[in-house]
Each structure stands twice: as C-alpha cells, then as structure tokens.
Amino acid sequence: MRKTISFFILIVLIVISLSACSFSEENKQPANGIVMIGDEQYTLPIFERYKENIKEKEVFEVKTGAVDENKVLIIDKSTAQAMIKAKILRTNDVNNRSDSISIKKLPDIPKGSSLIFTHKDENHITSIDLNSKEIPVSYDSDAWIGNSRDYKSQWYLIVAENDVYKEIKANETKLQLIRFKKSLGYEKPKMSTDNTIVIEYLKLKRQVKDFHKLISVKFITFEDES
C-alpha cells in the first residue's frame, strides 16, 4: 500500500514540475531587446553599453508631456504601426490576467480625435490638457509599448494621425527600438532567485544621472525571437 501511495505522490510531483516548466517556457520573456525613450545625448551611455550585442536599431520621433503628475507618450500612426509590426504594442490578455498579448491591428482613429490607451478606470476620458491646449481623445483600451506598462513614462499613450501629430505642442524626443543578437536573460526567469535583469537594470540607472527624469528604458521581448 505504501509503495502505491509513494508512486502516486511521485507522479503528482512530476506533473507539477512539468507544468511549472511549461509555464516558465511560455512566460519567462527573454530580454532580447530594449526600448529607450529620451534624447539621444542621455541614452548614449546605454547604447554604448550594448553596442557589441546590437543586431538592429530603429529610431522614431515621439513627443512627451505630462497631465498633472502622469506622463504622456504621443506617437503618430506610422510609429504605432511599426510597434504593431514588431509585436511590442501590447494589451491585457482577457484569458489570462497575468499575461499580455500583442495587438494585431491598430483600431480606426476617430475623425477629429486621437486614440488614447490607459488604464480602464479612465475609459471615460474624452480630452487631455497638454501645455494649456485641449487635445480631443477617444479611449480604446489598456495598451502600452513593451512587455508591461511603464507607468513612469506611459501613463497615457496617445496615437494620432500623422498630420494631427505634427500640430501637437509637446516635448520632441526619440524612441529607440533595439534588437539584441543575444538575450540578456529573462524578465520572468524559471528560478525566482535569478535576478540577472533586475541587476542589469540597476546598473543602467547608475550610468545616467537623473535616470527617471531624463529617460525611460525597458527590456522587451521580440516574440519572433523568443
């Protein structure tokens, strides 16, 4: 009887172990890229840190601002489509609250308005006041650029038609999208004690004075290379 129970326990442990491994393989998120927002003079030290591991680099013109204490990232339709192509414009997975999925197609931008992506609690928003000018917006969903929302730089993400984007008065800066030749580690590693990416991020913060004030840096996962 004891042998039967022991064998049953062993089977249960194996199943649990395999399930955990499967979960880790699907969700560990290899850090095979990075997205940086900010003037290139401030992001240069980080670019230099990884230049030997860079496979591809794309640079986009973006605008930034703030509503009260909340940061706003403004991109045009062309940039949004590039983010969708790279599979890094993401939203919550309705089937798995702890995960996200890439957006396959940019929603239609209503005439006379721009799309705004932010937390669903603000789905009533119809405009934002940026630099004393009202910008009409239409709420779409809770979406962001990267593996997860960076509230420090993307409390609000606005996507405007290209011509409308040009007229928006806000700080002009750069968004750099970099693919690595080799992953630096995993944002959701198999072992909870694996702090490789956390430590790497702390090293980046030490390289740029006033890091959070001047730039935003997030490790990302390119799905086609995961």
pLDDT band at 19 (very low <50, low <70, confident <90, very high): very low
Q: What are the structural domain ranges in the chain?
A: 28-225
pLDDT band at 10 (very low <50, low <70, confident <90, very high): very low
Average pLDDT of the residues in 163-175: 96
**Cβ pair 154, 73 in contact under 8 A:** yes
Question: What pLDDT was estimated at residue 92?
Answer: 83
28-225 topology per CATH: Barwin-like endoglucanases (2.40.40)
Can you give the pLDDT at residue 44? Answer: 94
Q: What is the mean pLDDT of residues 153-175?
A: 95
- Work out the pLDDT band at 94, boundaries 50, 70, 90: confident
Q: Is the dihedral of CA 127, 128, 133, 136 positive or negative?
A: negative
Contacts of 82 (CB under 8 A, 6+ apart): 58, 60, 177
Alpha helix (H) ranges present in the chain? 2-27, 40-50, 77-85, 162-167, 196-207, 211-214
Q: What is the pLDDT of residue 99?
A: 79
Structure tokens at 158: 């606005």
Phi, psi of 220 (to 5 degrees): -135, 165
Expressed in percent and rounded to 5, the helix, strand and coil fractions of the chain are 35, 35, 30
Question: CA torsion sign, 105 to 160 to 100 to 182?
Answer: positive
* CA pair distance 21, 18, nearest whole angstrom: 5
DSSP letters, 60-110, are EEEEEEEETTEEEEEEEHHHHHHHHHTT-EEEEETTEEEEEEE-SSPPPPP
Which tens digit of pLDDT belongs to each residue from 183-225?
A: 998 876 665 556 888 899 899 999 888 888 889 999 999 876 4
Tens-place pLDDT, residues 75-93? 999 999 999 999 999 998 7
**What integer pLDDT is reported at residue 144 of this predicted model?**
94
The better pLDDT of the pair 59, 192 is held by: 59
69: pLDDT strictly greater than 60 = yes
